[in-house]
Amino acid sequence: MPSDAISHARSAGARLLELQDPHVIDVVLATLVVNQLAGDPVWLVLVAPPSNGKTEILTAASAAPTTYMLSTLTRHTFISGHRPTAACADPSLLPQLTDKTLILKDFTTLLTLNPNDRMEILGLLREIYDGRVTKTFGTGKAFHWEGTMGLLAGVTPMFDMHSVVHTQLGERFLLWRIHSGWEIREAQCLRAARAAGNEKTLRAEFGQAMLGAYTTALEWVQGREVVLGLPLEKWLSALSHLVCAGRTHIFRDGYSRRVMYVPESEGPGRLFKQLRQLLVGLLALHQRTVPTVGDLRVLRTVAWDSMHPIKAMAFDALGQNPDGLGVREFARVTNLPKTTAQRHLDDLLLTHHATQDDDENYRPHTKILAFMHTSKEYLNQTL
C-alpha cells in the first residue's frame, strides 16, 4: 500500500488531472528524492502530447525547495561569458543549480533550435551530467564547475524523431510516457469541467501535497542503507542490457533510408545505476526496504519507455514469439506499415540483437532472449 504522503499527492493530482497511470507522480517524486542522495543524478523526461498533464506535474514538483524551474534553454542559460565585477557577481546559472534538480517545462523547444545551438546545448548537458564543466571565453573569463545536477523535463513525442538527441544524450535520460486512450481523453474533459474556475486552488494543493511527499520520503531515507541483493541486481542488469539494445539508433539517409552507420550499443553501467537509484527513490516514497512487485513493474515501465517505442514493441513481440516472427505478423500486431516494420526489425539484425532464419522470420538473439527470461522469471518469483 502507498504511504499516506504519496497517497495524498496522488489524490491531489487526481483532483486536477485525469491520469491513466498515477505512478507518474511516484517516479517524479522518486527522482527529486534520489537527486539529494549520494550517487550519479537521475534525469527523467515526461513524454506526452500537449495537454496531457506533464506541465502540471512538473509545476507541482517545483514546490520542492531543491528545484529550479525554467521554461526552456538557450546557449547562454547555464554559463554567462560576462566577467564578474565588484558591482556584479558572475551571473552564470549553473553554480546555482549545484545539488538541485532543474525542471524544464518545455524541452521540445530545444529540438527546434538551429543545429549549431542545439548541439552546443546538448554537449554542455553531457558535461553537466558527468559532473564537470570547463569553458574559456574570448573575454578572458575562465569558467569551471564541479557538482551534481538533477533534471526533470517535459517533451512531446517529437522527441523520438530526433536521433541527434538520442545520440548525444539518450543514455543519460530515463523516460516516462504518459498515455491516454479515448476513455481517458473523455474523462480529461470532464475533469477539466469540474476544475474550471478552481485551478489556482487545486494547483496549490497539488504542489503542497508533492512537497509533503518529497519531504517525508527524504527524511525517511536519510541515514538508511538500502541493500537490494544479488538476485535483484541481476534483474536490473538484464533490464539495463535490454534497454541499451532497444535504444541503439541506426543512422540512415533521410531520403533513400540507406544505412549510413551502425553504432555499437551503449554500455549498461550508467543505465543500471540510474534504474537502481530510481528504485531507491520509490522505496523511500513508500518507506520500505524491500521492493514489491508493484515497484518493479513501475521500474520496468520506466525502462521500456526509455527505448524508442517501436523498438520496445519489437522486443515485446519477439519475446512472445521466440521461435520466429515474420514482418507481416509484426506489422499486424503493432499496427505499423509493412515497410516501417521491416526497417525496425532489420535494425535489430544490424545491431546483432536479432537473427533471421531460412524462412525470413526474425528471432531474438540468444543473449537478448536470456535477458528477457531473467526479467520475466524474477517478476514471477517476486509474485
27 plus 138 within the same structural domain: yes
Q: What is the tally of structural domains in the chain?
A: 2
Domain that holds residue 371: 245-382
Question: 223, 258, 282 — which closes off a domain?
Answer: 223
201 plus 331 within the same structural domain: no
**Residue pLDDT tens, the chain, 383 long:** 567 899 999 999 999 998 889 999 999 999 999 999 998 999 999 999 888 889 999 999 999 999 999 988 888 888 876 666 555 566 788 999 999 999 999 888 888 888 888 888 888 899 999 999 988 876 667 788 999 999 999 998 888 876 556 555 557 889 999 987 777 888 888 888 888 888 899 999 999 999 999 999 999 998 888 778 888 999 999 999 999 888 888 888 778 888 888 888 888 899 999 999 999 999 999 999 889 989 999 999 999 999 888 888 998 898 888 888 999 999 998 899 999 899 999 999 999 999 998 888 999 999 888 888 888 877 776 64
CB atoms within 10 A of CB 179: 14
253 plus 168 within the same structural domain: no
DSSP codes joined into one string, 70-118: ES---TTSS---SPP-SSS----SGGGGTTEEEEES-THHHHTS-HHHH
194 plus 265 within the same structural domain: no
Q: What CATH code is carried by the domain that includes residue 145?
A: 3.40.50.300
217 plus 264 within the same structural domain: no
205 plus 272 within the same structural domain: no
Q: How far is CA 88 from CA 85, 95, 139, 215, 297, in A?
A: 5, 15, 16, 35, 50
Q: Is 147 left (phi over 0), alpha (psi -120 to 50) or beta?
A: left
Q: What CATH code is carried by the domain that includes residue 258?
A: 1.10.10.10
Cβ neighbors of 291 (< 8 A, separation 6 or more) are: 228, 232, 279, 282, 283, 382
234: in domain = no
pTM of the full structure:
0.91
